[in-house]
């Protein structure tokens, strides 16, 4: 295999943290990711980021963040207006194409600067949907009801996802929410956006993450590495009424194209809502033996534009630390699981 993850770091997920620019948040994250990878920043051939100006409310915020890289002498840099998992894909392809031996991928966002669920309306169709300002939690709720009506999920199964995620997050120092929840107590709580309750929804999180990639030869010099055996991403139609919201066909297609193995040990799924984890498990065909989101997942900390990258990094850590032989990192972008990326990581 020709590309491996050799370093990963993230900032703690916080309800409100740092500056709007993200630069100061990124500096220590870069430092730790590069230290783990054993690389000096001058040894990074390609830098690629994911972020959105709409989170910061100012133009070209990703250009500001380049300060944290130290862009002198001039560097090779790129940006996607998506979760940095898609920047990861760009960097992966760049290395496969032989245009770089190493890459640092990062994502950042201060989701707390504005009203996130309203800001996210701007990712919807700009002609017939966004002008109505449907908020992201309501859009997810429409999907959840479709899944409930179809009998694909139950409110109890959704609450069980929250209970397990919060408990697992107790061991994750970067998570924003953790602890012991009582299932019946959760089901007695009021709806936030029926049929979603507060525990069904990821918190609004500020945060950042950085991941270091290296080509085969470079990666083999590093004691800790997670080989990438496949990456793919697919997209479903934008129109919410155009697709079956109870399934995630693009996740299924991405998993198939990435060669998701049947004997997977760990899956880090980017599911900002409880019902989405259940839909993704079905879409990816994950059986009972697969450990799902041992980090607690996005449900316990969902920094916009880096939560997906963090799933890949966290999955890679499982492999690098020897806790898993095979792991998958998944990222989603857009409303109601419209876009899905799957990355398969292996120890050898």
Partner 1 sequence: MFVLSAPLTISFDYTRSLGPVLGRFMTALRERRVLGSRTADGRVHVPPLEYDPATHAPVIDLVEVRPTGTVTSWTWTDRPLDGQPLDRPFAWALIRLDGADTALLHAVDAGSRELMRTGMRVSIRWAADRTGHIRDIACFQPGEVTDGPDRRDDEPVTVMTTPIRLSYTHTTSADESRYLYALADGRLLGQRCPVCRKVYVPPRVCPADGVPTEEEVAIRDHGTVTTFCVVNVPFAGQRLDPPYVVAQILLDGADIPIPHLILGLPADQVRMGMRVAAVWRDPESWTTTPENIVHFRPTGEPDAPYESYREHL
Interacting stretch for partner 1, rule CB under 8 A, among 94-102, 154-162, 187-195, 250-258? 187-195
**Does 239 participate in binding partner 1 (rule CB under 8 A)?**
yes
Shortest Å distance, C-beta 100 to partner 1: 19
- H-run or E-run covering 73: none
Q: In terms of DSSP bridges, do strands 226-235 and 196-197 run parallel, antiparallel, or are they unpaired? A: unpaired
- H-run or E-run covering 50: strand 46-50
Per-residue binding letters, 41-70, with partner 1 (x by CB under 8 A): x------------x-xxx-------xxxxx
Rounded to whole angstroms, the Cα distance separating 218 from 2 reads 10
Per-residue binding letters, 4-43, with partner 1 (x by CB under 8 A): --------------xxxx-xx--x--x----------x--
3-state secondary structure 173-241: CCCCCCCCCCHHHHHCCCEEECCEEHHHECCCEEEEEEEEEEEHHHHHCCCCCEEEEEEEEEECCCCHH
Rounded to whole angstroms, the Cα distance separating 209 from 12 reads 9
Interacting stretch for partner 1, rule CB under 8 A, among 79-87, 140-148, 173-181, 296-304? 140-148
Rounded to whole angstroms, the Cα distance separating 282 from 146 reads 15
Rounded to whole angstroms, the Cα distance separating 172 from 268 reads 13
Shortest Å distance, C-beta 80 to partner 1: 21
| Residue nearer to partner 1 on the CB measure, 70 or 179 | 70
Point out which residues pair with 3 in neighbouring strands: 215
- Binding partner 1 by CB under 8 A: which of 1, 93, 131, 179? 131
Shortest Å distance, C-beta 56 to partner 1: 8
In sequence order, the 6+-apart residues with CB closer than 8 A to the CB of 30 are 9, 41, 68, 69, 104, 106, 210
**Does 259 participate in binding partner 1 (rule CB under 8 A)?**
no
| Residue nearer to partner 1 on the CB measure, 210 or 316 | 210
Rounded to whole angstroms, the Cα distance separating 34 from 168 reads 27
Interacting stretch for partner 1, rule CB under 8 A, among 81-89, 142-150, 265-273, 291-299? 142-150
Residue count at the site for partner 1 (CB under 8 A)? Answer: 59
Shortest Å distance, C-beta 315 to partner 1: 27
Residues that bind partner 1 (CB under 8 A): 18-21, 23-24, 27, 30, 41, 54, 56-58, 66-72, 110, 112-115, 117-119, 122, 125-135, 138-139, 141-143, 145-146, 149, 191, 193-196, 237, 239-242, 245
């Amino acid at each position: 295999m020709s590309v491996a993850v050799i370093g990963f770091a993230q900032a703690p997920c916080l309800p409100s943290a740092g500056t709007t620019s993200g630069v100061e948040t990124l500096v220590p994250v870069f430092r730790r990711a590069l230290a783990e990878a054993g690389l000096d920043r001058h040894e990074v051939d390609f830098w690629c980021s994911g972020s959105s100006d709409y989170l910061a409310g100012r133009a070209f915020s990703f250009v500001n963040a380049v300060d944290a890289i130290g862009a002198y002498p001039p560097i090779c840099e790129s940006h996607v207006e998506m979760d940095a998992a898609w920047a990861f894909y760009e960097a992966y392809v760049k290395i496969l194409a032989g245009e770089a031996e190493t890459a640092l991928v990062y994502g950042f966002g201060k989701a707390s600067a504005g009203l996130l669920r309203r800001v996210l309306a701007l990712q919807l169709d700009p002609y017939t949907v966004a002008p109505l300002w449907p908020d992201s939690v309501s859009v997810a709720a429409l999907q959840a009801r479709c899944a409930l009506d179809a009998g694909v999920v139950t409110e109890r199964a959704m609450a069980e996802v929250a209970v397990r995620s919060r408990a697992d997050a107790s061991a994750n120092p970067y998570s924003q929410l953790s602890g012991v929840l009582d299932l019946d107590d959760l089901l007695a709580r009021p709806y936030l956006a029926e049929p979603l309750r507060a525990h069904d929804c990821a918190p609004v999180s500020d945060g950042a993450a950085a991941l270091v990639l290296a080509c085969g030869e470079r990666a083999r010099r590093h004691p800790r590495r997670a080989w990438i055996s496949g990456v793919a991403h697919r997209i479903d139609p934008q129109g919410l009424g155009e697709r079956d919201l109870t399934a995630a066909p693009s996740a299924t297609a991405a998993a198939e194209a990435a060669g998701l193995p049947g004997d997977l040990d760990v899956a880090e799924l980017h599911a900002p809502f409880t019902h989405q984890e259940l839909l993704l498990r079905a879409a990816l065909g994950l059986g009972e033996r697969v450990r799902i989101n041992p980090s607690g997942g996005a449900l316990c900390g969902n920094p916009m534009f880096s939560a997906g990258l963090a799933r890949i990094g966290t999955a890679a850590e499982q492999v690098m630390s020897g806790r898993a032989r095979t792991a998958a990192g998944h990222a989603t972008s857009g409303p109601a699981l419209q876009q899905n990326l799957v990355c398969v990581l292996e120890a050898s």
